[in-house]
Structure 1
Amino acid sequence: MVAATNFDKKKYGYVFNVQRYSVHDGPGIRTIVFLKGCPLRCQWCANPESQHFHPELAYNANKCISIKECGWCIKSCETEAIKHDQNGKITVDRERCTNCGKCTDICPSKALNMYGELKRVDEVIELVEQDSSFYMRSGGGITLSGGEPLVQAEFALEVLKEAKRRRLNTAIETCGYADWEKAVTVFEYVDNILFDIKSINSTRHKQFTGVGNETILENFKKLCNCFPNTPITVRTPVIPGFNDTEQDILAIIDFIKCYPNVKYEILAYHRLGEPKYTYIGREYLLSGVKPIPEERISTLKKLVQENFPQ
């Protein structure tokens, strides 16, 4: 599957996962559609396969049955990106790999797979509508996530338009780092917005995510002013050494407390996505960082309750 470049971005988009029966990303029971592409490079990112816009080859060495039993992937690779080590396990040369996907089609153990597939708007909606009965009973619907769904703003807009046409509740998870003129057209078709604010300190924000926070904070202000009746939940992933102090949390509360219809929650750091870095040949920069103890998270949640009644 070579990454397509010439396609109608309103009709097609890159999707890397569809998660059904979610209850944490918007009201009710929801289907989350994860879109490829993100402008941030958060060091703790649990979905590194979401960052690049194009499809990516993933290799799980634990599933590989070795060239002694197989080796079909090596024969299928026209660029010689797939080779084997002295133990008979395959290796992937990321510089040579074109992400064509031929090796994944013939891998019997599913050690090789692709993250990212080009899908039409109607394909996405058909997947989402499989659970429409659950949405009706619970007030759920579709949530667009990523990556950053606003990277594919044209596609996201068409998906949301079609969802609204079919009377589905809509939500979006966003980091807020996007061109406002594109973002505002998407927000018009969203019933609930989950907005990440990771830090008020722009220097530290850039250190840990690769970008400053000025655009994010400015877009949040515009969002609240343009859509005062749309429920917004601000989320902060609490990362050790980055934004885990009382001062960090209070600074965010101080920034958002003047806006109506806004809720706030903090999310505990976890390392569940760490294996995926190995699968796609990247390094996890926080490999030595342990999750924050539950008692500490409880203390910060109590701080939120005391300073941001909701």
Structure 2
Amino acid sequence: MHALKEYDLQKWHSSLPDSLKATSKQRLVNDFKAALNSAYAAHRTRLPSDLPAIIKHGLKPPMQHDDEAAPLARDNQILSDTLIGRLIRAAREIDSEQEWEGDLYRFVVVLASTGARFSQIARMKVGDVQRAQGRLMVPVSRKGRGGKSGSTPVPVGKDVLDALLPVATNRADDAPLLERWRWKQASGGIQWERAGRAPWYSASEIMRPWHEIRERAEIPEVIPYALRHSSIVRGIRANLPIRLVAALHDTSVAMIERHYGRWIADGLDELAARAVVPLVPPDDGRKVVPMLERA
């Protein structure tokens, strides 16, 4: 560790195989960083004083946009409103059958209506439901470097606001909007019992019920992120300005253009087609002479 330089760590970081998912790479980097920092803490009297800075900067992730690691939009992940309705209906049925008490259903409804990421929705508060304005205030993403704060107002329909009414009424504005029951194994037995309600923690929590939802809806390959893809493409097809679509989904114009260029091109073609007007006069053989010309 005496000879460790930033370049050594950067070289190791860049050599990680591309087959690893971005999240797997980051977990590996975090574990390695923790091990190095732990070793420094145990032997700091015998190690260079600038070693923590070397570790910090050597393993700093490259600048990456918040959607860089997002799955690319494929044709089968751009869903029509009808297919999204089938997913929501399936979520409501499974919620009822498995006694989620509306928690699963409401989370899927907010995913579909806002196009936000799981982590953003999980941080929403009761006060983020602004029924009078017909919108939800979605917290900005925490991805990327630097601290970000604030919320993005996202218009939603009365149907979405009605679905949230049970958890948005008679609760403190700073309470978590969407929660779920936690379970623990009963002491001395094999039975599981409820251990209170808490916010959703991780996107992995929705994966097991999601498999059942998509099977029930008969869309077996669809992923939860398809709801975000579909929301973005819906805005593009509605001819909203790309900057507005990007703002509503807490991303950049560059990322919209990179991931959804095909749908942007289709929309521009449609707009351009509307601007086409007939310019060539009809060839009538001059058999009809306009009155003004004859005069």
When normalised by structure 2's length, the TM-score is: 0.23
Between 1 and 2, higher relative CO (CA 8 Å, sep ≥ 6) is seen in 1
When normalised by structure 1's length, the TM-score is: 0.22
- Bigger Rg, which one: 2
